[in-house]
Chains A and B, each alone.
Chain A
């Protein structure tokens, strides 16, 4: 359990476990989506608008009054959940002792599921004008 399994760039493509290989691909493909979506989102929320403008009412009326923007935000939600939680899976596997590893991974996936439900609920249920 040390950095020796990492190379100059990052985690080498796993060759042993099929699951690890799929995770490796999912982290990389979702990162391409996030590069566009998350940086565009940060640009919108800080350079185009300002956190001071973004009241709940404002978000509902100007941002989320469009199905397309809600869909885009939901897509970003999916990408960030896949990427962030599979990324944290690798981190936990590196540091958590094997005795409590499956417990901690279970907690990680449960948290991802809860955030999936909350994030999806608000996109769908928030009323349009």
Chain B
């Protein structure tokens, strides 16, 4: 059954959705959109900065110093969080799109997304941020 015509996609149910089941689906969607736009903005900068390796390596190295500065590391941690949430929730979306029967477990999958996000993300954030205090201490 194509999801466009399935019961979940019917406008009536969708309009009622946030009230009859709680708001996870809506929050998942909003976070997904915001993180996607955020990573997209970074990609514009990133393709230009990698291009500088060829045309202006001094400027690239200067930008690299900003990336590895303390504020740069905070930004990269946020970028990593946006990318990681978007990647995990994106897989949740694709799984439900390709196996619509699994849509009934959407809430459990959303919980798994957050468990994996923090289990891998917190140590990851520590590794990215560590040089900030190691440089001082």
Q: Tell me the bound Cα distance from A4 to B80 in angstroms.
A: 29
- A7–B64 touching, CB < 8 Å: no
Write out the residue numbers on chain A whose beta carbons fall within 8 Å of the beta carbon of B44: 111, 115
Interface size on A, residues (CB 8 A): 46
- Whether the Cβ atoms of B4 and A13 lie closer than 8 Å is yes
B93 adjacent to A9 (CB under 8 Å)? yes
Q: Find out whether the CB atom of B96 lies under 8 angstroms from the CB atom of A9.
A: yes
Q: Which residue of B lies closest to A6 (CB)?
A: B29
Which of A3, A13, A31, A119 is within 8 Å of B51, CB to CB?
A: A119
A46 touches B93 (CB 8 A): no
Which residues of chain B are within 8 angstroms of A7 by Cβ–Cβ distance?
Answer: 3, 8-9, 14, 25
The 8 A CB mask of A6-41 against B (1 = contact, 0 = none) is 111110111100000000000010011011001100
Known contacts being A15-B4, A77-B47, is A4 close to B15, with CB within 8 Å? yes
Q: Give residues of chain B (82-117) contacting chain A, Cβ–Cβ below 8 Å.
A: 83-84, 87, 90-94, 96-97, 103, 106
Count of CB-CB pairs between chains A and B under 8 Å: 129
State A47–B15 Cα separation when bound (angstroms).
Answer: 43
Residues of A within 8 A of B61 (CB): 55-56
With a cutoff of 8 Å between Cβ atoms, the chain A residues found around residue B4 in the complex are: 12-15
Q: Which residues of B line the A interface, CB within 8 A? A: 2-6, 8-9, 11, 14-15, 17, 25-26, 28-29, 32-33, 36-37, 39-40, 43-44, 47-48, 50-55, 57, 60-61, 64, 67-68, 72-73, 76, 80, 83-84, 87, 90-94, 96-97, 103, 106, 124, 127-128, 131
* A residues with CB within 8 A of B: 3-10, 12-15, 28, 31-32, 34-35, 38-39, 42, 46-47, 50-52, 54-57, 59-60, 77, 80, 84-85, 87-88, 91, 111, 115, 118-119, 121-122, 125-126
Which 8 A-B pairs rank lowest in CB-CB distance, beginning with the nearest? A56-B57, A52-B68, A8-B25, A15-B4, A9-B96, A118-B51, A10-B93, A122-B54
